DNA sequence: TTAGTGACAGGCA
DNA sequence: CTGCCTGCCACTA
């Protein structure tokens, strides 16, 4: 269990209902801007061992990337149940549902 | 130890 | 917008 993994877990757990996050976003917040694939491993390894809202984690395109059709469909149901709109392609509108924990502390943009 | 893998992301045509 | 290629980094055999 690396610090990175712990962070990933925390971040995923703080995703509110009705919101989603991308792998890259989580990886960045966890300290590895290019560690999206590690986030994948975490989900693979811990989604079933911990109580994580793994269904709120999607790829950059805003779609569900799970291979297994069962889990894929299940995730779509979970998201819709939280009020998130998911089309037939399993795509979510990131502009509308992507969760942003903090605009990076120190950088505010109020032009 | 090295090589391969993965529920990805970003850049470019 | 989509598709292809490359970089990525932790984990497994």
pLDDT for A90 beyond 50: yes
Q: Does residue A78 contact residue A55 with C-beta atoms inside 8 Å?
A: yes
Look at the pTM and tell me if it is higher than 0.85.
yes
Q: Which nucleotide across the nucleic acid strands is nearest to A41, CA versus C1'? A: B6
Q: Which residues contact A105 (CB under 8 A, 6 or more apart)?
A: none
3 state DSSP class of A92: strand
Q: Which nucleotide across the nucleic acid strands is nearest to A64, CA versus C1'? A: B7
Which residues surround strand C, with CB < 7 Å?
Answer: A 1-2, 4-5, 32, 34-38, 41, 45, 61
Q: Which nucleotide across the nucleic acid strands is nearest to A38, CA versus C1'? A: C10
The mean predicted confidence, pLDDT, of chain A is 87
pLDDT in tens, A48-64: 778 889 999 999 999 99
Give me the mean pLDDT over the A10-32 stretch. Answer: 92
């Amino acid at each position: 269990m690396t610090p990175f993994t712990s962070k990933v877990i925390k971040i995923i757990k703080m995703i509110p209902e009705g919101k989603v996050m991308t792998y890259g976003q989580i990886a960045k917040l966890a300290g590895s801007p290019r560690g999206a694939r590690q986030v994948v491993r975490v989900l693979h390894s811990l989604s079933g061992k911990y109580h994580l809202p793994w269904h709120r984690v999607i790829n950059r395109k805003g779609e569900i990337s799970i291979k297994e059709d069962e889990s894929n469909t299940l995730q779509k149901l979970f998201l819709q149940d939280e009020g998130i709109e998911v089309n037939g392609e399993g795509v979510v509108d990131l502009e509308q549902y992507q969760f942003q924990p903090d605009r990076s502390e120190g950088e505010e943009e109020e032009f």
